[in-house]
Amino acid sequence: MLQIHQNVSLKNFNTFGIDANARYFVEIDHAGDLVELFMDPQWKTTGRLVLGGGSNLLLTRDFDGLVIRMNIRGIEHRINHNEVFVEAGAGEVWNEFVQYCVKWQFAGVENLSLIPGSVGASPIQNIGAYGVELKDVFDSCEAFEIATGTFKTFSKADCHFAYRESIFKQLPGQYIIVRVKFKLSLIPDINTRYGAIAQELTNRGITAPTIKDISDVVSHIRVSKLPDPSTIGNAGSFFKNPVISSEEFETVKTNFPEVVHYPAGDGLVKLAAGWLIEQCGWKGKIIGHTGTWKNQALVLVNHGGATGQEIFDLSAAIIDSVQAKFGVTLQREVNIL
């Protein structure tokens, strides 16, 4: 029998450490729990918030509805020649899933090491880092359709993946992901082209890196740049890297020749949001209880006691300053309640 709790603090369920309350709260340990939950028509009409690791969420108020915490665990794999299909429950911690794959030498997710959050949230955001996106290793996922009370399988094409986008973001509140299947390989395609990976490998004297080497290096780089949420509240990268047209880029480059950028295909260019923010003087700045991280301007932090509204207001000020200086509009990557 599912236990529906009332007036639950969400402070320990979001990595910003924002102290907001949920009117109702339930934990889902098995896919069948969702069927049981929504057999009660009350929950189909009540506002809902689905939580995994709470690492991509900013709470600016209490939630007057039902918070559904996904705890479905379990990882299993099947090998077919050089292909490996790995399936994981939505409640699995993302980095623990990555380390499982690295331990078994299943290649494909090593560049995504140490990203906070859960497996179930990974397709929603199409998470990505260091030249790899979730869509590159995604096979399918199983999701619960609230309206019908049935489970549906989504292929990669069904998910409409784009940069930090998916069908699940486009149709919020309609589906709850319960399991994700990944297509990995026993033959590594080592990717060292993005960020500081190649330089760190050189520093370590590694010329023929394994996927464990890549995972270790990516983890090292992330730790050096990003704060630990258990020490200081944050949600990792707060903004998306803006993607602009080649024409817009030429205008920016004319005024700022040193602008950090990457090709994004189809006549598009991706700018480094962290660099743009830093050029506006925000890196390491403290305002009240909040601010930006000293080593990475892309990360907003809760120095203790900050409200979600304070952090949101800081993000708005950053967006305005980047727009004024560069003519580029930043978009928040973090979901705002």
Question: Which residues have a catalytic role annotated?
Answer: 164, 237, 333
The pair of three-digit structure tokens given for residue 273, joined into one six-digit string:
């949001």
User: Residue 311 gets which letter from DSSP?
Assistant: H
The pair of three-digit structure tokens given for residue 174, joined into one six-digit string:
């309609």
Sign of CA dihedral 184, 186, 189, 192: positive
What is the chain's Cα-based Rg? 20
Rounded alpha-carbon distances, angstroms, from residue 8 to 20, 62, 254: 9, 10, 53
Q: Which burial class, exposed, middle or buried, applies to 317 when counting CB atoms under 10 A from its CB (0-12, 13-18, 19+)?
A: middle
| C-alpha to C-alpha distance for 268 and 255, rounded to whole angstroms | 18
| C-alpha to C-alpha distance for 333 and 316, rounded to whole angstroms | 13
| C-alpha to C-alpha distance for 106 and 129, rounded to whole angstroms | 18
| AA letter at 65 | G
Cβ neighbors of 109 (< 8 A, separation 6 or more) are 97, 98, 101, 102, 132, 137, 182, 184
The number of beta carbons lying within 10 Å of the beta carbon of residue 143 is 26
Nearest to 159 by CA among 181, 138, 128: 138
